Amino acid sequence: MATPTLANSPNPHQLFAEIVRPFAPSSYPKPQPEFLVFATGKAEYHWRIVALVPCRIISRHKSLSLALRKCARLNEQGGEGAKK
């Protein structure tokens, strides 16, 4: 009695069993920030946080580091903080 080999296998998918590659992890695009920091050009408050969708100023800041921290926090919340 003959035993099946890969060449005459009754299961044609067995031919490719060794070649199967795992799927690459799907790359999801990073969500775009809803808030950005811009320079104001003013003497007192140098930085402003702007909501992009309604295009409105959320807050003004003297310190860039504080403006960036608040902007990052707003983007992590998904804009919930600005919908009041």
Strand intervals (E) in 1-84: 35-39, 47-51, 56-61
Residue 77 binned pLDDT confidence (cut-offs 50, 70, 90): confident
- Complete edge-to-edge strand list for the sheet that includes strand 35-39: 35-39, 47-51, 56-61
Residue 11 binned pLDDT confidence (cut-offs 50, 70, 90): low
pLDDT tens across 29-59, in order?
666 789 999 999 999 999 999 999 888 999 9
- Given this model, what pLDDT does residue 84 score? 46
Give the list of residues 6+ apart from residue 79 with CB closer than 8 angstroms, or none.
Answer: 34, 35, 51, 53
Q: Where are the domains of the chain?
A: 32-84
- Calpha distance 35→45 (Å, rounded): 18
Q: At residue 83, does pLDDT exceed 70? A: no
